[in-house]
Amino acid sequence: MSGQNLELWVEKYRPRRLDEIVDQREIVERLKEFVRDKNVPHLLFVGPPGTGKTTAALCLAYELYGGLWRDNTLELNASDERGIDVIRSRIKEYARTVPLGEVPFKLIILDEADNMTGDAQQALRRTMELFSRSTRFILIANYASKIIEPIQSRCAIFRFQPIPKGDFAARLRYIAEREGVKVLDEAIEAIWEESLGDMRKAINTLQAAAALNSVIDADAVYRALGKVTPAEVREMIKLALNGDFLSAREKLREALYSYGLSGLDIIKLVYREVTSPKGLELDERKRLEILELIGEINYRLVEGADDEIQLNALLAKLALVGGRGKV
């Protein structure tokens, strides 16, 4: 595959062929059959992040078309191409041209399809029918439940499982070995705990830790992860828990307006910070109290309109919990 960045390990070690995919054996076998028959139904890949959904789609494209895969594959990301109109016009334009090579159809990979609104999905359903002779869709999503029934029923659904710890560790060791870095078991263990089987996150963590230390131990992993969380978010939580609401709000504003994070991004980071074993030192009761607050504000962020107001409400509550020990 051309155009990839071989300096980033996630790309360098992204499997090129179906056989290289870690785990997901049954899925890989079925996909290989499709390649043999040179026939593919519409596909829906669902599963947690970093389990190889996009990789499987790209491998399938590569094995179907070989060197011509880029000419026959359109990659779209539903999170970026918000409007269905954009998707439709690009799909239309793309589907009009004839596939190159001996496979009689082209592929459209629609990633993060669960970020499409219901309306957009309805429109997509029609588009899928309209172009089904010349194109096949691979829809990729974290949750099948967010894809409307009529689309699900048009697709063969493949459920990607979280990568088992053994395969996960083996892959990381393989990469470390190829890169000539020494990685300790405790580091693998730490990465496993922090990434929860998300291979993209794991490999990124490994590479960041390798930049910090020639021998990757657990400490390097945690230090790397600490630096990855925008410093603003971490400081924000600390300031709030110390009862300094105004300074915490300053940090929040940096994260929102300078860094350009969304409210949901930030609440995710706060959650990660509060739950991570190497994160904040809190007694368990307080941690639970805080988690409840995070959950509530997360809900309000989804329902509400103004991210800053919602997160200020969280910070004000954190200042209360930190200061007095009860809400």
Partner 1 sequence: MSSRRVQPWTEKYRPRVIDEVIGNPDAKKAFIAWLNKWLAGRPEKKAALLYGPPGCGKTSLVHAAASQLGLELIEANASDVRTSEALKRRVLRAVTEGSLLGVRGKVILLDEVDGISPQDTGGLETILEIIQASRHPVVLTANDPWDPRLRDLRNVCELIEFKRLGLREVSSALSEICRKEGVECDPAVIRELASNSEGDLRAAINDLQSIALGKRKVTLEDLEVLGYRAKQESMFEIVRNVLVAKRPEAARLVLSIPSLDYEMLMQWLNENIPYQYSPSPVAIADAYDALSKADVTLSRIKRKQAWTLLPYALDMMTVGVAGARERPPFKFVKYSFPQKLRLLSTSKEVREERNRIAKAVATVCHVSTRKALLEMLPYIKVIYENNPLKGRLILEGLGVSEEDFCKAFRIEVKPEIRSRPSRRRRS
Rounded to 10 degrees, the C-alpha dihedral 231/232/234/235 comes to: 110
Per the DSSP assignment, residues forming a β-bridge with 135 are 106
Q: Is 300 in the site for partner 1 (CB under 8 A)?
A: yes
Q: Using CB under 8 A, which residues numbered 157 to 196 contact partner 1?
A: none
Best CA proximity match to 267, nearest among 227, 308, 228: 308
Task: Indicate the residue among 119 and 303 with the shorter CB distance to partner 1.
Answer: 303
- x-or-dash pattern for partner 1, window 108-127, by CB under 8 A? ---xx--x------------
Best CA proximity match to 134, nearest among 91, 87, 83: 91
For the chain, give the longest Cα–Cα distance. Answer: 71
Q: φ and ψ at 160, to 5 degrees? A: -85, 130
Tell the smallest beta-carbon distance from residue 104 to partner 1 (Å): 25
Q: Is 245 in the site for partner 1 (CB under 8 A)?
A: yes
Q: Is 308 in the site for partner 1 (CB under 8 A)?
A: yes
> What SS3 state is found at 325?
coil
Q: Using CB under 8 A, which residues numbered 131 to 150 contact partner 1?
A: none
Q: Is 33 in the site for partner 1 (CB under 8 A)?
A: no
Among 178, 260, 280, 287, binds partner 1 (CB under 8 A): 260
Among 24, 51, 54, 72, binds partner 1 (CB under 8 A): 54
Tell the smallest beta-carbon distance from residue 225 to partner 1 (Å): 9
Q: How many residues does the chain have?
A: 327
**Crossing angle for the helix pair 199-212 and 218-228, nearest 10 degrees?**
110
Per the DSSP assignment, residues forming a β-bridge with 109 are 75, 138
How many residues make contact with partner 1 (CB under 8 A)?
60
Best CA proximity match to 81, nearest among 52, 112, 123, 53: 112
Task: Indicate the residue among 24 and 312 with the shorter CB distance to partner 1.
Answer: 312
Per the DSSP assignment, residues forming a β-bridge with 140 are 45
CB 179 within 8 A of CB 9: yes
Q: Is 317 in the site for partner 1 (CB under 8 A)?
A: yes
CA gap 247, 236 in Å, rounded: 8
Token pair 């869709």 is at which residue?
137
CA gap 42, 153 in Å, rounded: 10
Tell the smallest beta-carbon distance from residue 316 to partner 1 (Å): 4
- x-or-dash pattern for partner 1, window 65-94, by CB under 8 A? ----------x-xxxx--------------
Q: Is 255 in the site for partner 1 (CB under 8 A)?
A: no
Q: Using CB under 8 A, which residues numbered 203 to 242 contact partner 1?
A: 204-205, 207-208, 211-212, 224, 227-230
CA gap 284, 118 in Å, rounded: 40
Q: Is 283 in the site for partner 1 (CB under 8 A)?
A: no
Interface positions with partner 1 (CB under 8 A): 3-8, 10-11, 54, 58, 75, 77-80, 111-112, 115, 200-201, 204-205, 207-208, 211-212, 224, 227-230, 243, 245-246, 249, 253, 257-262, 265, 297, 300, 303-306, 308-310, 312-313, 316-317, 319-320, 323-324
